[in-house]
Structures are given as structure tokens and as C-alpha cells.
């Protein structure tokens, strides 16, 4: 399935995890078995946002292309991608 063509619903976003560095600052190479999953990613697609109790649309604070930081157990795995609710996003990485 092509997740890059997936349009998330509601307040969800489709995130492509960014690869972690292969070695420590001291130059020690980290084996694949010891690596943790990245907690940063780039937003590929954004849903239309959620609605309040009166049915009014609440705009999303993030947009496609933003680099975000999210919790370790956030979202739902979708192949190499992750589908995350906007409330699970901890912050946007400023450039």
C-alpha cells in the first residue's frame, strides 16, 4: 500500500520517521539491535482537523513538511510511517 497517498482523517497526521544517527558523538557505531525507533519525523499529510462540540472546525497547528518530535509510544505504525493524533505531537522542530 502507498501510504504517501493516504489522507489522514480528523486531527491525525501521517509521519515519516527520520533516521537516527548511526554512531555516537564519540564515534562508537551503534548496532541495529541496540537502536531505538526515532522520535522525530517529517509530516507527509495532515487531516482536516477536529470539530468542537458545536461542529465548528478547529484548524491544525501543523502542516505537511513540518519536522516534529513525538512521544516514544505515540501513534499507530503503518509500514515505515506512523499515524499520529495532533495531541500526541510534543513539538515542532524549528529550523
Q: Which residues have CB under 8 Å from 11's CB, separation 6+?
A: 47, 49, 50, 58, 60, 85, 86, 87
Report pLDDT for 37. 67
pLDDT at residue 64 is higher than 70: yes
The Cα 79–Cα 5 span in angstroms is 13
Per-residue pLDDT reduced to its tens digit, 20-63 = 666 656 766 666 555 566 689 999 999 998 888 998 888 899 99
Domains annotated for the chain, with CATH where assigned, are 3-92 (2.30.33.40)
Report pLDDT for 55. 87
The vertex-16 CA angle with 28 and 91, nearest 5°, equals: 85
The reported pTM is 0.77
Amino acid at each position: 500500500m502507498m501510504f504517501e497517498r493516504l489522507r489522514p482523517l480528523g486531527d491525525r497526521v501521517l509521519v515519516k520517521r527520520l533516521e537516527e544517527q548511526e554512531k555516537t558523538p564519540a564515534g562508537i557505531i551503534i548496532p541495529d539491535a541496540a537502536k531505538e525507533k526515532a522520535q522525530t519525523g517529517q509530516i507527509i499529510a495532515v487531516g482536516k482537523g477536529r470539530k468542537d462540540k458545536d461542529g465548528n472546525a478547529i484548524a491544525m497547528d501543523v502542516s505537511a513538511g513540518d519536522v516534529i518530535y513525538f512521544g516514544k509510544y505515540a501513534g499507530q505504525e503503518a509500514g515505515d510511517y506512523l499515524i499520529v493524533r495532533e495531541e500526541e505531537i510534543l513539538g515542532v522542530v524549528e529550523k
